[in-house]
Structure 1
Amino acid sequence: MAIALGIIAGLIVLLLVIVALRPAAFRVVRSGLVRAAPDTAFAIINDFGHWSTWSPYEAIDPAMTRTISTPSHGPGATYAWHGNAKAGAGTMTISESAPSSRIAMRLVFTRPFRADNQVRFEVQPEGEGCRVSWIMEGRHGFMGKAMSMICDMDRMIGRDFEQGLANLDTVAHAAADPS
């Protein structure tokens, strides 16, 4: 019995060491072509008032409460949400807004877990439209490192980013060509 307990304790310690040694930093990047001019795509991303039309996270909880600052765009603009267990709660604040090219945000989750991440959108002309890159960077705490052993964060969040970029393409294309 003592040997079995020793083996179990050893495995637990080994697991804790493996989790502790995992990288803390993470980065998720997805890019997509948007069939609209850079200024059109930029204006939609840079204004939290438009996020309900394209963000993949809006559909998670239709009853989610949202609070959008006035003004709703540019540096200092904020978007706060409070939803069900899956949507969670948090705030986004635009920290940088370089017209038609780059938007940087601070993304703070307060529920279902705490996290403080940086998000960027980079918009570059490409052909008849533009390429939009959605980038999120942050650091995992111990629990985040443990979760990353089970869930592939790049794949999980990357799918959301891909859907959001496809939605953005649809919305921006319609705004650029209203006929």
Structure 2
Amino acid sequence: MTIWTILAGIGGVAALTTAGSLLLPRHVHVERTATFQGTPEAVLSLAASNTGYQRFNPYLTVDPALQISHFGPDAGVGSGFAFDGKDGKGTQVVAAITDNSVRYDIDMGPMGKPTQAIVVKPAAEGVQVTWSMDADMGFNPVGRVMGLFMEGMIGKTFEQGLGNLAAAI
């Protein structure tokens, strides 16, 4: 076997791996739902506020050294914060508010620009809250492979955040 045969084999495997990763889903959706005591208005009030969000921010639970810097109005569309911690850095901004939801635009630079939403509805036990994230992994093969792990990684984060939110209400 010549060196050229070995290199051609390695190149073929790399090409197949890259092409195969592009068959993985481009769009990732993760969501978690919890029901707890409280009102939709109380949840939305916290979710749409710079300081209110920090009362249940799950990343502060896992990274107490997370640096947060607020910008924009205290609450409402345009309310946001910059963050820098062990899981990355970027910004999160309230992009839209409806009668039952708050949507955030997140910019993590080269790590992506996912959107998240907190949707509430009244429940017999108080309030049902669904926290979701949508991300476009693009054509990056590494990003597409990472997308396979988002459910486990982000899902645990949302579960922590919903527990924090229940305690904050």
* Common fold by TM > 0.5: yes
Partner of 1:34: 36
User: Amino acid of the residue matched to residue 122 of structure 2?
Assistant: P
Alignment of 1:18-97 (within 5 A): 18-83=20-85, 86-97=86-97
Matches within 5 A, 1:116-135: 116-135=113-132
Displacement, 1:87? 2.8
Distance 1:6 1:13, change over 3 A: same
**What CA distance in whole angstroms lies between the structure 1 residues aligned with 2:135 and 2:68?**
24
Are the equivalent residues in 2 in contact too, given 1:34–1:168 (CA < 8 A)? no
The runs of 4+ residues in structure 1 deviating greater than 4 Å are none
Residues 58-67 or 154-163, more deviating = 58-67
Q: Normalised by the size of structure 2, how large is the TM-score?
A: 0.89
Is the partner of 2:113 in helix, strand or coil? strand
Deviations 1:134-156 (A, max 9, x none): 1111200303113335xx11111
d(CA) in 2 for partners of 1:37 and 1:103?
15
One-letter identity of the residue aligned with 2:102: I
Q: Secondary structure at the match of 2:22?
A: helix
Deviations 1:150-177 (A, max 9, x none): xx111110011011101111111xxxxx
Aligned residues: 165
Alignment of 1:98-109 (within 5 A): 98-99=98-99, 101-109=100-108
Q: Evaluate the alpha carbon distance shift between residue 70 and residue 5 of structure 1 in structure 2; reply closer, same or farther with a 3 A threshold.
A: closer
Change (3 A) 1:8 1:70: closer
Structure 2 residues without counterparts, runs of 5 or longer: none
Conservation of the 8 A alpha-carbon contact between 1:60 and 1:87: no
CA distance, structure 2, for counterparts of residue 82 and residue 159 of structure 1: 20
Aligned partner of 2:126: which letter?
A: G
Unaligned runs of 5+ in 1: 173-179
Residue in 2 that maps onto 1:161: 158
**Superposition CA RMSD, Å:** 1.7
CA distance in 1, matches of 2:67, 2:153: 24
1:170 pairs with 2:167: yes
- TM-score where L is the length of structure 1: 0.84
Q: One-letter code of the match for 2:106?
A: L
Number of the residue aligned with 2:147: 148
* Sequence identity percentage: 27
